[in-house]
Structure 1
Amino acid sequence: MLKHIVIIFASAIVLFGCSEKKLTEEMLLGQWNCQNTLMRQINPKVANEFHDLELRPDYHAEYIKNGDQVLLKLASTSEIIDFDAIEKNKDTWQSIGEMETNNKIKFVLISNDELKQDIVFSIRDKTSKEIINLFNIEVICKRITD
């Protein structure tokens, strides 16, 4: 009986797939209200498990198209971020004094009007390359429709 259930489950995966819907730039364009749903940190030198951090307030984000570029504008600052640079630099470490930082963001489309961002922000010692702090952040953004 168990063997039949496994075969049916495997067949369903093959027939219907289990992949996430691909997020395109066009889907991203527009205004979003974003809420941190998870913020946690680990310091590998001190402990081997994450501990929760206080969630940041909601924020407003807008993705706009400028020529071939998609730009992220945050309402709380005047900063404009090149969305393509986020993807291109995910394996690049940025030098800040005696440390280096890395920011990896994975976008998951929940629906046409809701997306999730899984963010891993790492800080390491520039000389030893040892991770000093690791942050895991989850953000849910809902499209603002007027």
Structure 2
Amino acid sequence: MKKIALFGLIGFILTGCGEKKVTEEMLIGDWRCNFKEQVAKWKNGLFQDYAPPIDHETSLVTYLKVDNDLFVKSPNSFRKIKQYVNKMDGSFEYSIGDMKTVGFNKLEYISDDEFKSISEIIITQNKSEDNEKTKNIMHCTRIK
């Protein structure tokens, strides 16, 4: 009987130890987000290291659900932009003519009241002096 109880307790603990993720439900509400951008220059056929991050102003954003769809809105705009959580966390690649774009988006769960979004985009083309590599980091904290 003790073994059954022990296995049950271990199973309960292990199912509760899964990695937490950013979900639509978690996002709903008001957030204070700061943005940083880093750029890597193209030189001698290679991207150089990222330059130090450039801080952009802190913004207030609201995530809301309308008819079961997730939207994001800034307080100084009436426009709502549809969001797809599954596209906020994954890689992408596409080409237009000689321009190739590859990158990824990553959502990092910090707590129920804090998350980070990291996006890296690499654009390469035949005129290599126009190649660019950019990383954007958005760190958001829930406004209570």
TM-score grouping bracket, smaller chain normalisation: 0.5 to 0.7
| TM-score, with structure 2 as normaliser | 0.67
Q: Which residue of 2 aligns with 1:121?
A: 121
Q: Which residue of 2 aligns with 1:32?
A: 31
Unaligned runs of 5+ in 1: 1-14
Q: Distance in 1 between matches of 2:108 and 2:55?
A: 20
Between the aligned residues of both structures, percent identity stands at 26
After superposing the two structures, state which structure 1 stretch, 71-80 or 105-114, moved more.
Answer: 71-80
Q: Which residue of 1 aligns with 2:104?
A: 104
Q: Which residue of 2 aligns with 1:21?
A: 20
Deviations 1:100-131 (A, max 9, x none): 65663211111111111111133332x67998
Higher strand share: 2
Q: Which residue of 1 aligns with 2:80?
A: 80
CA change 1:24–1:124 in 2 (3 A) is same
Deviation beyond 4 Å, 4+ runs, structure 1: 15-19, 76-79, 97-103, 127-131
Q: Distance in 1 between matches of 2:127 and 2:17?
A: 40
Deviations 1:66-112 (A, max 9, x none): 112111113355543221187089525485x9856566321111111
| TM-score, with structure 1 as normaliser | 0.66
CA change 1:61–1:53 in 2 (3 A) is same
Q: Distance in 1 between matches of 2:98 and 2:76?
A: 29
Q: Which residue of 1 aligns with 2:135?
A: 136
After superposing the two structures, state which structure 1 stretch, 54-63 or 66-75, moved more.
Answer: 66-75
How far does residue 140 in structure 1 lie from its aligned partner after superposition? 1.2
What RMSD over aligned residues (CA atoms) do the two structures have, in Å?
3.6
- 1:120 alignment partner AA: E
Q: Distance in 1 between matches of 2:68 and 2:26?
A: 15
Unaligned runs of 5+ in 2: 1-13
